[in-house]
Amino acid sequence: MAFSSCFSLSPLPFKIDHLGQTITPYGKGQTFPFPIINNGYQSIVRNRRINLKGDWSFIGGSRMVVNQQVVRLVPYRKASRVYASWLSGGPELASSVFTLATTAVLPFYTLMIVAPNSELTKKSMVSGVPYVVLGILYAYLLYLSWTPETVELIFASKYLLPELTSIGKMFSSEMTLASAWVHLLAIDLFAARQVFLDGLENQIETRHSVSLCLFFCPVGILTHVITKAITETTRKKQA
């Protein structure tokens, strides 16, 4: 009878002594706000949920098994994602640069058209900062869009000249297209600046020509040449 009672013994209960308080675990999923030391090893379970299991045998006696269930919360950081996209490149970077570069050049065109004779406009047009910024941005996009096939696409013909089909294939990439757009914005702004400064020097109306230089740069240069020729002819007749 005594022998059979040994097999019917339930797992021995255990207690945890913390700061003079005796705490008896009662089941799974209990959380303790303090470390638990077991067999000389300290298991930090603060703010974590643990599972407690009781076990008993003739050889090992009563023991406690602590299973930690650690839940990691990874915050979503939008700024890190944007920063990573700017380093690695991709459609998001190409779209962002397209919008940013287009918006950046609009104030200079606005000054040349709305207030061509103001000191702010003159100082802005003499400064080379916008072209330095656009140049650096273009070089960065060119670096990201450059592939081993780029040289082959540029010099596709047997005469080492570009071909329309190869150029179209090269500009099928959004990154390459964004770099070309920044290239055009820089050239167009520089041409509009030359038209504007020439108009100030020779007292020629340049608002219409500067407006055309924004999206139709060759047409804007052409209209400036025509306007300048008409103005000089009229002045000669008046003299």
Regarding whether 110 and 204 lie in a shared domain, the answer is yes
Tell me the residue range of the domain where 7 lies.
2-69
The single-letter DSSP state of residue 163 is -
- pLDDT of residue 128 exceeding 50, the answer is yes
Q: Which of 69, 92, 123 is the C-terminal boundary of a domain? A: 69
Regarding whether 55 and 87 lie in a shared domain, the answer is no
CA–CA gap between residue 135 and residue 142 (Å, rounded) = 10
- pLDDT of residue 212 exceeding 90, the answer is yes
What residues contact 220, with CB distance under 8 A and at least 6 apart?
Answer: 191, 192, 195, 209, 210, 211, 212, 213, 214
Regarding whether 59 and 11 lie in a shared domain, the answer is yes
Q: Which of 69, 102, 122 is the C-terminal boundary of a domain? A: 69
Regarding whether 231 and 126 lie in a shared domain, the answer is yes
Regarding whether 220 and 139 lie in a shared domain, the answer is yes
Which secondary structure element, helix H or strand E, spans residue 54, and what is its range?
strand 49-57
pLDDT digits (tens, 9 = 90+) for 6-37: 444 444 444 555 455 555 554 545 555 545 44
Regarding whether 199 and 83 lie in a shared domain, the answer is yes
Regarding whether 82 and 65 lie in a shared domain, the answer is no
Regarding whether 226 and 148 lie in a shared domain, the answer is yes
Regarding whether 174 and 87 lie in a shared domain, the answer is yes
What's at 130, amino acid-wise?
P
The domain tally of the chain equals 2
What's at 18, amino acid-wise?
H
Regarding whether 64 and 157 lie in a shared domain, the answer is no
Q: Is 200 left (phi over 0), alpha (psi -120 to 50) or beta?
A: alpha
Burial 162-195 (b: 16+ CB within 10 A, else e): eeeebeeebeebbbbebbbbbbebbebbbbbbeb
Q: Would you say the pTM of this structure is higher than 0.85? A: no
Q: Which of 25, 43, 69 is the C-terminal boundary of a domain? A: 69
Least confident segment among 4-13, 82-91, 118-127, 143-152: 4-13
Which secondary structure element, helix H or strand E, spans residue 129, and what is its range?
helix 129-145
Regarding whether 206 and 160 lie in a shared domain, the answer is yes
Regarding whether 162 and 46 lie in a shared domain, the answer is no
